Structures are given as C-alpha cells and as structure tokens.
Structure 1
Amino acid sequence: MFANPARTDPKISPNGSQLSWLAPDKSNTLNVWTSGLDGGNAHCVTNETGDPIEWYTWAADGKHVLYLHDNAGDEIPHLFSAELTSGNVRDLTPFRGVRAQNVLTDSRYPGAALVALNLRDRNIFDMYRVNLETGAIALEAQNPGDVLTWKADNNFVIRAATAFDGKSARTTIRVRDAADKPWRDLVVMPFERALFAGQVVNGSLVVGFDPDDKSLLVDSALNSDKGQLVRVELDNGHQVGVVAEDPKCDVAFADVGRLGMEPKVLLNPISDAPQAVEFNYTTSHWFFIDPKLKEDFETISRQSPVFVDLVSRDNADQIWIVAIRRSDAPDAFYSFDRATKKLMPLFAENPDLAKFRLAAKKPVVVKARDGLEMVSYLTTPPGIESKKLPLVLLIHGGPWDRDSDSYDPEAQFLANRGYAVLQSNYRGSIGFGIKFFNAGDLQVGLGMVEDVIDAARWAVDQGIADPKRIAAMGGSMGGFATLRALEMRPDLFACGVDEFGPADEAMGLRTFPKYWSNIIARWRRREGDVDHDENWNRRISPLYHVDAIRAPLLIGQGKNDPRVTLANADAMVAALRKAKREVTYVVYPDEGHGFARPENQFDFYGRVEEFFAKHLGGRAQPWKRVAGSTAEPK
C-alpha cells in the first residue's frame, strides 16, 4: 500500500499524440515517462533521485515537460525542463534557496512559461516569464508584499492576483487592465468572509477571465455561507451572477503540487469558458455548466458508475484522460475519444492491490457535544462484523484541511490489520462553509480536539468501537491533535501515533519558512497569538501538558522538515522521557514534512502496525529492517 505507484498522474500532450505519467525508474524514484498514445516507445525523460517528482506538466510547445523538484523534503523546489528530443534537463530557476511555485502555461503561447519565485525577496513571490528555448527569465509582475498567487488572462498576461494582507488579515482580488496599467483592488473580503485558499501560501480564489474579458470568475463566500463560483465585473467588482453553488458545501479545491490550492473548475481549453465545478459534501460530484461536457461524462459514467475526474485533455478537446476515483481502490485511468465515445483503459495506479478486498469508506455525520454536525468517514475491515473493534481515530492535519471519500492508503492499511478507522472533519475543517470554518477559531488544541474525542465516543455508543482499545493517529496538525487528545482524555486512549506534529506552537510559528511570514497573521487570528501570549501557547501546546499523558506514543519525524522542525519534535520527546512516559522516536534524515520515499514509509508503517498490535490487538507482520530506509531510532 505504501509502495510507489506502478504508474500515476497521466497527461496527454498538447497535440494529443503522446502520453506522459509518473513511474519509478531503476532507482525506484518517481520520474516522468512518455510514450506514444498507443503506449509505444515508453521511456523515462527525467532522472531525479531521492525525493519523487510530485508535480509536472506538459509545456505548451509539446517539446518539453516541466516539473518541480526539491531537495530531501526542504520544500524549496526548482522548476526544471526536460527536452524530449535531446533528453536534456535544464534547471530553469537555478537560484540557491529560491522556491518556484504557481507555474502557468498557455497553449496559445508555446514558447514560454510563467513561474513565481521569491528571488528578489525571500518573503514574497514575484512572477517571471521564462523562455523555454533559451532559459532567459524576465520579471513579469512585482509583488507589493501581499500576493499569494498570480493569474494570467486569455492573452497569457498576468492581470489578476489573490492577495492576503498580513496587517488587516483581509483577502483581496486584485486586477490590472494591461501589463503597463496600475493594479487596483477589485474585491475585498474581510477575514471572517474569506475562504481558506485566500489566506494560505500559494492559494488562489481566482479561476480565470471570462472569454469576453469583461468579468472575472472568482470563488467567493461574500454573499453566502458556502463558497460559490461567481462572476465579478472587471470594471467595478460588482458580483453579477452565481455560476455554480451547492447548499451544503463550498466549491471543492484542487491541490496544485505541494503547498498549492485552487478552485476545482473545468475550463474549456479553447475558449476558457467554465464547463463544470466540483463540490464535495460527503462525496464528490460535478455541477455541469456545459451540456456537451455533461453528456460525455454521462457516457463515461454508464461504463464506470463512480466519480469521474477529467485530469487531462489535448488542445483540440477531443482526447481526454479521465480518472475513476473510489474509496476502495487506487485510481484507475482511461482515455476517452469524444468523437467515437470510446473509453479505453490505460492503467491502474497500483494493480497489485486488485487481488485484495479493500474497504469502502462509509460517510457518516457525527454530532459534536454542542450539536455541530461533522462529516466523517468510517472504514471497517471487510468481511468482519463492525462490533467492538479496536478503533483508530485518524486525524487530518492543517488543521484547515479536510478528509474526503477518496482512496486513503493509511485507512486501508489499518482496516486490513483489523481496525475500524474514523476520520472526522472537526470544526475549522474547510469545504463546509464559512460558519463551520470560523467555528474553529481559537479552538486549535481545544474544541477541535474535543470534536474528535466526541467522534470516538460516537463510535463506542454505536457499538462499533471497543472503548478499551482506542488510538489516535495523525500527521502534522493531526499529530498535534493526537498529542492533545492523549492529554485531554488519558482515560480514553490506549496509545497514539504522532507523525511530524508540532509540540510547541510558538516555536512552530517562529521557525516557519520566510515565505510564510505574511500569512502568520492568519495563524494568530485562527489559533491565537501563541508567539506573543505565553499563557495561551502553554494552554494549547502539547509540550506543556506531558504529565497528563498515560498512553504510549510512537513519534516519526523528518530531519529536514521546514514547517515542524526537528527541534520541536526533540523537545516533546525529551519532555516525555523526563516524565518517564513510554515513547518510541524515529527520525528520517532525508525526509521533510511527510515521508516521501517508499523505503521510509515501509519502515515507519511497519513500526506502526507492531505498535498498534501490541497496544490494540490487531494483526501485524513482524517488523524487519527495510533496505534503503534511513530510519534512525532515537
């Protein structure tokens, strides 16, 4: 389950003649491969080692593949170009300590790409235009200090931006009429009315310019509790219509590489008109705008009646690559010819899992103690009655993030080992409207943790969970919540697994990367001013409540983590050991915020299953040393 995918993330070339995907090379590192559309002449076109390539795209010229790659999890990726004919790989942003993000291409301008870099100032990202043939780079738009992301118009000119003011905490949609015209504020969103993507590094609320260039498509909750796709007039900022909405949830967001998010909206590759918008309350679904697109989705759905995602298409919009997504199987990919309506299988992400029976997530709505409804997902071992099972509360990070009904290797792994798995979207989780989002304010380490505790009690009350065999587990702020849960209810939890979770929030804010400096205002407004108010920091940070912990802990940490530093994890472990608490601590020297290399994942989850088997009683394969893992037990 934690091996590299056999193949994943397929994309079709701009002219529709070639296919690309990510797959392991001979060193077992995910690299970019290409072939003819029929699969012929498959070969690897990049040669990265260590960390896998997580994001790539075709350049608009069809001659290059562009990709981002960092160094051992340091989250300072450079933008590279691989020329398909010669095999030459070029670092397009060869600047030490400079991060590349917000990469844009346009089929009508094949010789260039746009990329945001913190080259001039490590705290902010200006936009640059890169010549793909020569590698020449030129400043396209200068950041005044608050821009999160940039957006190009239909002539591939940067004319819109999503900005967050670190002083007022307002989100602003900013535009200009031409490259030589001044910027002006088009829409200003107060802190309490802005969606999360308008408050986070590399987040965007701008979908694009309407084909008539008279209005802008924006994801907004200014006039609704839920995030809607709306049209805003470019000359005055007035909202002139709602394009798509759902009464229960916001417009869904798509991840754009690591640390990047934008509204999940399908745009016509020829006209740039909106065609469909994704929403996800308990399960994902499309709101269709274009009737022809809807017809083709219905054709595909008749052959595969689960969620269909359009992941790539050629410039002519005739050949599609679609993903079939479900919670009980890794993604499967198909090509679809719009002319013949023929759906052809390409590959499954992990075909070796096809012989196993995996567990479907069951959406449930759990009420917190104050009546707040939390969309949650229950995964139980297939073929076993869901009664008095050992339970793992799998807590999402962020904390401003969400769990969904997508395939989740951790949930499948735990269910396979005999555990019920419950994932709850506690207050402050995103996607469920402004009121739900704001309900998490000043509840980090407090009400958010009470919510997941209430979810555990729900599972006990339903007869699903054995009250004596409950664990908490999570990564990042999910690891933080795990530590706090064991402190707040030491009588409830038998053990916990903390994956790179912060123990001291003040230390975390003080050691965030420089380019997070502007958005720290959002952290202070939403979790409390921990780096100035020592009493508040002590109230919510796990480091200061170690004496309350009774259950054993397993803690995993990446040495190069730029968000939760090694010092933060070290401090927690030292405090636990000083208090004579049981803790197993494993550090991975070539990992950052998360474990990217499969050898390290095998090692860590092997330790997890033995740890849970000891304290909860599930199944486990005997742990043994994994060749290639860099694990360092401390």
Structure 2
Amino acid sequence: MGYKVFRTMALACAVALAGVATAADNDPPVPSAADFGERPMLKDPILSPDGAMVAAEAKRGDKDVVALVDLDPTKANSTRTIPIPGDFSVQWVRWAGSDKVLVSLLGTSKIYDIEVPITRLITIDVHSGVAAYIGLKSQGLVGDDVLYVDPAGAFLLLSTQPSIFDLPAVYRIDLATLKSEKVVKAQDGVWSWYADDKGVVRTGIAGEGKKWWVVYRERADQEFTRTKRREYDEDDVGVDKFLPIGGSDTGYAMAAGKSGRFGLYKYDFRADAIGEQVYENPEVDIDDFDVGKDGHLSAVYFTNDKPEIEWFDPELKKLQARLDRALPGHANRVISRSADNMRLLILSASADDPGTVYFYDRKTNNMSPFAALYQKLGGKRLAPMEPVRYKARDGLEIRGYLTLPPGRGDKNLPLVVMPHGGPFVRDSWGYDAWVQYLASRGYAVLQPNYRGSTGFGKAFVDKGIGQFGRGMQDDVDDGVKWLATRGTVDAKRVCIMGASYGGYAAMLAAVRNPEIYRCAISFAGLSDVSAQLRYDRKSFAASRYYRNWRDKVRGDKDFELDTISPLKMAERMTVPILIAHGTKDRTVPVSQSQKLHDALVKLKRPHEFVLYKDEAHGFSDPAHATDFLNRVGAFLDKNNPADGKPRGS
C-alpha cells in the first residue's frame, strides 16, 4: 500500500470513525456537562508481545476492571472484562508473556489506626480470566515494584518488604506456580533496586540521613560492592532514572547536564559516573526514553509546546513522519508495540479531539481505529488550544496555553485563568475537560506555566524558589494583563479556577487581587500553607530537581507563611468563591477547604461550598464530575456571565 492510500485510509478513519467534528459540520452540537464528565472508555491500552491481544484499564459501573480484547476479527466475543478483587483500584496494566497480564492495585490499610495507601500485584490468565495474587504472604506497603518481567512470561522480579519494618529484598516469582524465591537479600540503606534488560539485579540506591551511595555488581553470582558515601547536595539535581544494560558495566541515565535541562547520558555503573551525552533538547527536559531488546536506544520522549518523540529507530522515525503527515494538528504517539515491532497501537489526539487509538499492522500496512476514548464527545464542537508566550513583570518569559470559545471571535472575551496544580509540574497541550467545558460556555481560558513549573530546566524551577503565592501568583496575574492589553479579553470580566495548587491560587486571588478577578473557583485547594507543609512536605517538592527540598516553598526562613495563606486572611475575601473538595483526599486534606468555608460562614462572606463523598484528589465518579461542572457553570452565570455586561459599565 503506497503513501497516498495510507494517508487516505488514516484520514478516513480519523474523521468517520473517531467521530470528531470537522469543517463539514456546519453547526455541530455543543457538549453537555455530562459529556465532559465522562471517563475515558479505556486507559493505557497495551499490546501483548505477540500482538494478538490488547489489555487496558477500564470501568464497569463504578468499579475498575481490566479489559481484554482479541484482535482476531473472526472471533466472537472478542472483548472481555475481568473484575478486580477486593476494594482496589487499578494503577497500571502490563503483559507477562502473551498469556498473562499483570495488574497493579491501589488500596488502603491501617497502621496504628492511621489509613495509608498500599499497592498489591495480581496476574490474570487471559484464557481463563482467573486472577491470582502475586507476592509474599506478609508484605509491606509497596507490593507492585516490578523490576523485570521475563519476555516469555515465566517469571518476574519483585522488590518488596516482608513487613513495614524491613528494607526491601528482591524475589523471583514463578508465574506458573506463584512461588517466590529471594534472589537479592536486603542491603543496608537500599530502598530502590534496579535490574538490567536481561533480568539481573545490578544496582541499588541507598541512603541514610544526609548520606547516599550506590551498590553495584556486574553478574548475578557476585556480591554487591558499595561506592563512597556522599552527602546530599541541596542543589544537586542528580540522576532521575537509569537503566543498566545486560553484559556491560554501562547503561543509560536521565540527568541534568550543564544546561540544567534533563537529557539522556551514558552511565558507567562501575565508576558510578555520568558519561557522554546521548540526547538533550535545546529547550525542555526529556520525559522518558525507551531501549530496544538489543540494548540500543529506541526513543526519547519530551514535551515542548506539544508532546513529541525523537526516534532512534530509523523505521519508526519514518513511520512517525507518515503519521504526522496523515493526521496533521494531532499529537501522534506510538503507545505500544508487539515484541517484533510489527504491530503497533497509536494514539492520535489534540486539544479539540480527545483521542482515538489506532491499530497498525506494518506487515499489511493497514491502520484501523481501535477505540475512540470519549464516545459521548463524538461529532460535538470542541475548541482548539494554542501555545502562547508572554513576559512577566520582571521580564521572565512565561509559556502557557490559550483556548478561545468557538464562534465568538478573538476580542473582548470573558476569561477564566486556570493555573495548574503542583505547583512543581506543568500544563501541556491536549484535551482538558474543564478547559473545553469553559470554552463551550463562551469563555477564553488561559493556562500559564508560571515560574517553578517543571519541564523547562532547573533555572526555571529555581525562579519558583520562595515564590509560592508570590512570584508564581504574579505570573498568573500578568497573563491576564497581557491578554487584556492585546484586546483578547475584557479586563472587567475575569475569573480564576484551579485544582490543588491551582485551587490555592484561586483562593489567594480572591483575597489578594479583587480588582482583577470577579470570582474564584477552587477544587481540592489548600488554604493554610503551614498546615499543609506539616501534613506532607512532599506535596511541594520538585524532587527531580532537588534531592533535599527543605524550605524551597518558604524561601526566606523568616518569611511568615500566614501572609500567603487564604485562611489567615479570610476577612479580606470579598470576591465570591466556589469551594469544592473530595472527602477522601489524602493529598490535600479536606480540612483545608472545610476550615475556609467555616471562616467565611462566620464572616458572612459570599461563597458556595460542596463536598464530594468518597472522592480523592480528583474525580473518579462521572456523576460527581458532571455535578461539579454544572455548579461551575451556574456560578459563572451568576458572577461573570459570558454574555453579560462588563462590570462597572
């Protein structure tokens, strides 16, 4: 099949079967809140090594299941769903050979009456559908740290603790009998073990107090030797991820180079030293990398304005170019491959197309749709998202994304600015249900990657040190002013909305800048910075960039955190605010929103408050996600109507 046929077929699949609204749709329907509240039909589909089946996370009602799909079109009942035992949710799914699927499960347990998260591992026989537990009879909190899976599915290597009081050892689990054998005993201080691509545990990372070191061996029949102990450096970026290569003392490591950006390097395990640079992007950090069965680098993944792949496999590099020509305006990513690289799953998605997974057979050169991820959105109107850049008040360039409401032009629009959570993460280009819901109701949406956002190198993260609720907040405000100055938005019709840190930014804006924002919306936001630091310091950590986070949030040790805590300034909150939180949020406790609500009730300040039963740091129940969006829509209609007159007119 030639290129023209490939292109025609791919485009026909994308339009006819993915159900995305196109230029031919003169007036496509506007999605409802329920459409945007929908969960994806499946998540993270992955091909079996022989390319005959697909396994994925899915939902049946409100329960997590594993979906198994036989790709043979002649077979009846080709799709099955396997229920998950107990009160667990699915973390990830992967294959162990072509006859078994491994599933990581997340649940909770209690230690001294304190509820804590635990992970466990099961295997599913794809022929019988029978699920079985993998692990020790007695086990610590982490039970899904799989270091290696035999390509034939005969065994796996699992790093786990016999109890919460033990350091992890490594066990070889026979996947036929499920019997375990300890192959690496626990070592002093070692919490993280790594195996090479041949299934030999080669190295471990150890730490105690302010000291850290590496243990290493060349072969399975050797004892581990330890490198010299070193102190954690406050500003030491170090290695984010590394992979030993079988039969060699070298491997690959993701680490920050002289530029401060994370790139890919050779790593000498015997010398415990970073070697030559393999790849570094000139603008952003790399996110991940893949190595083929031969130990050679296959691909590097990174996110500039949009998600991208740098292929080192010549054939897949050519395929990527063909995909991008056939499906323009989309991020087209190979998300899974058969062992021989002849069968592929490809996800094609964009901001205004929530995504279709395609199955591509390289032998027949045939590509066909496998699944549209959000079926309720098929044929309905969504809005494109554009990368933007603007200058903050101190001259720092801020990247972000701007979504304009369809059919409303690009002048004098009402705006909702939506800072991301974290704060030490980043927003990226792609489908976002909240953004699309707001755009569907007539609002422009700005998503700024304020200073401290990760992915743009250490120097940009450094700019966020001590700027929690200060410079970070200024960057958000400056984005509003930039859009108003160029006439895109009406400066008198602006609200702010966010979740987690974004929810905090919305709360703080309602106190700090009532002259900018007409209203604020917070989901799972924090109102008391000191209390959150006491609860969980890791929630503020950019751990990829700093081994020891300490007081990066506070900045100056004498800085008073109450001055950036909305709860402590509730009497100044005159802007209407909608506050929402999940009752089982373990990242930001529900008390962070409850206490602000209580304070505002006492002060008789205008606000709305809602708790979502059993939700955590996000929505898992589509009914709750839909209810929240409906509340957001009604709140905006009341306080910043998209078609209303500007305030003060």
* Structure 1 position 438 matched with structure 2 position 466: no
1:487 corresponds to 2:547: no
Q: Distance in 2 between matches of 1:187 and 1:290?
A: 38
Q: 2:153 aligns with which of 110, 113, 120?
A: 110
Q: 1:267 aligns with which of 280, 287, 291?
A: 291
Larger CA deviation: 42-51 vs 81-90: 42-51
Structure 2 equivalent of residue 55 of structure 1 = 92
Shift of 1:439: 1.0
Q: 2:243 maps to what in 1?
A: 208
Name the structure 2 match of 1:388: 412
Distance 1:397 1:293, change over 3 A: same
Q: What stretches of structure 2 of length at least 5 have no aligned partner?
A: 1-35, 110-114, 645-649
Letter in 1 for 2:271: N
SS in 1 for 2:37: coil
Picking from 14, 21, 45, the partner of 1:10 is 45
Q: What residue ranges of structure 1 are gaps of 5+ in the alignment?
A: 199-204, 253-263, 621-634
SS at match of 2:83: coil
The one of 200, 211, 218 equivalent to 1:157 is: 200
**Which one of 184, 204, 220 corresponds to residue 227 of structure 2?**
184
Residue equivalent to 1:67: 104
C-alpha contact 1:207 1:265 (8 A) present in aligned 2: no
Aligned to 1:630: none
Q: Where do 1:153-552 residues align within 5 Å?
A: 153-161=196-204, 167=210, 175-178=216-219, 180-184=223-227, 190-194=233-237, 205-210=240-245, 213-252=248-287, 264-268=288-292, 270-305=293-328, 306-512=330-536, 522-528=548-554, 536-552=560-576
Is the contact made by 2:511 and 2:575 (CA closer than 8 Å) also made in structure 1?
no
Report the CA distance between 1:435 and its aligned residue.
0.3
Q: SS of 1:486's equivalent?
A: helix
Structure-2 change in CA distance of 1:529 and 1:564 (3 Å): farther
Residue pair 1:403, 1:423 contacting (<8 A) in 2 also: yes
2:65 maps to which of 31, 43, 66: 31
**What is the aligned length?**
594
- 2:322, 2:331 → 1: CA distance? 13
Question: In structure 1, what is the Cα distance between the partners aligned to 2:427 and 2:194?
Answer: 28
Identity %: 29
- Give the superposition deviation at 1:162: 5.9
Contact 1:467 1:492 in 2 (8 A): yes
Cα separation, 1, equivalents of 2:346 and 2:636:
37
1:259 maps to which residue?
none
Q: Residues 596 and 186 of structure 1: is their aligned pair in 2 closer, same or farther, counting only changes over 3 Å?
A: farther
Question: Contact conserved, 1:267 with 1:276, CA < 8 A, in 2?
Answer: yes
1:75 to partner: Cα distance: 4.3
- Of 80, 85, 105 in structure 2, the residue corresponding to residue 43 of structure 1 is 80
Deviation at 1:476, TM superposition (A): 1.1
Which residue number corresponds to residue 616 of structure 1?
Answer: 640
Distance in 2 between residues matched to 1:423 and 1:514, nearest whole Å: 24
Is this contact kept in 1: 2:235–2:547, CA < 8 A?
A: no
Letter in 1 for 2:551: R
Distance 2:433 2:91 in 1: 17
Verify the 8 A CA contact 2:510 2:520 in the aligned structure 1: yes
- The answer to whether the 8 Å contact 2:55/2:93 transfers is no
Does 2:132 correspond to 1:90?
yes
Instruction: Assess if the C-alpha contact under 8 Å between 1:122 and 1:515 holds in 2.
Output: no
Contact 1:368 1:451 in 2 (8 A): yes
For residue 118 of structure 1, report the CA deviation from its aligned partner: 6.0
The answer on whether the counterparts of 2:104 and 2:119 sit within 8 Å (CA) in structure 1 is no
Indicate the residue corresponding to 1:260 in structure 2. none
CA gap of 1:335–1:540, structure 2 versus 1, over 3 A, is same
Stretch deviating more after TM superposition (104-113 or 453-462): 104-113
Displacement of 1:524: 2.8
Larger Rg: 2
Distance 1:182 1:54, change over 3 A: same
C-alpha contact 1:15 1:62 (8 A) present in aligned 2? no
Q: In structure 2, the residue corresponding to 1:315 is in which secondary structure?
A: coil
Deviates more, 1:478-487 or 1:130-139: 130-139
How far the C-alpha of 1:154 sits from its partner, in A, is 1.8
Are 1:566 and 2:590 an aligned pair?
yes
Q: Could you tell me how far apart the structure 2 residues matched to 1:548 and 1:6 are?
A: 44
SS in 2 for 1:53: strand
Distance 1:32 1:251, change over 3 A: same
Residue 129 of structure 2 aligns with an amino acid whose one-letter code is: G
Distance 2:133 2:523 in 1: 32
Query: Which secondary structure does the structure 1 equivalent of 2:286 belong to?
Result: coil
CA distance in 1, matches of 2:160, 2:340: 31
Q: 1:537 to 1:370 in 2, by over 3 A?
A: same
Instruction: Please list the CA deviations of residues 403-460 of structure 1 after superposition, one character each: whole Å capped at 9, or x if unmatched.
Output: 0112111111111111111001111101101100111111111111111111111121
Letter in 2 for 1:615: N
Q: Which amino acid aligns with 1:59?
A: A
| 1:174–1:30 distance in 2 versus 1, CA, 3 Å | same
With over 3 angstroms needed to count, the CA separation of the structure-2 counterparts of 1:279 and 1:535, relative to structure 1, is closer
Deviates more, 1:546-555 or 1:102-111: 102-111
Counterpart of 1:593 in structure 2: which amino acid?
Answer: H
What amino acid sits opposite 2:396 in the alignment? L
Q: Indicate if the aligned counterparts of 1:392 and 1:419 stay in contact, CA closer than 8 A.
A: yes
- CA positional deviation for 1:535: 5.6
- Residues 403, 106 of structure 1: alpha-carbon distance in 2 compared, 3 angstrom cutoff: same
Contact 1:14 1:107 in 2 (8 A): no
Letter in 2 for 1:182: T
Query: Quick check: 1:226–1:433 contact (8 Å CA) kept in 2?
Result: yes
Question: Which is further off, 240-249 or 38-47?
Answer: 38-47
Shift of 1:173: 6.8
SS in 2 for 1:561: coil
How well do the aligned residues superpose, as a CA RMSD in angstroms? Answer: 3.3
**What do residues 288-337 of structure 1 show as CA deviations (whole Å, max 9, x unaligned)?**
32222212222333322332212111222221111113121112111222
Residue in structure 1 matched with residue 26 of structure 2 by the alignment: none
Q: TM-score, normalised by structure 2?
A: 0.83
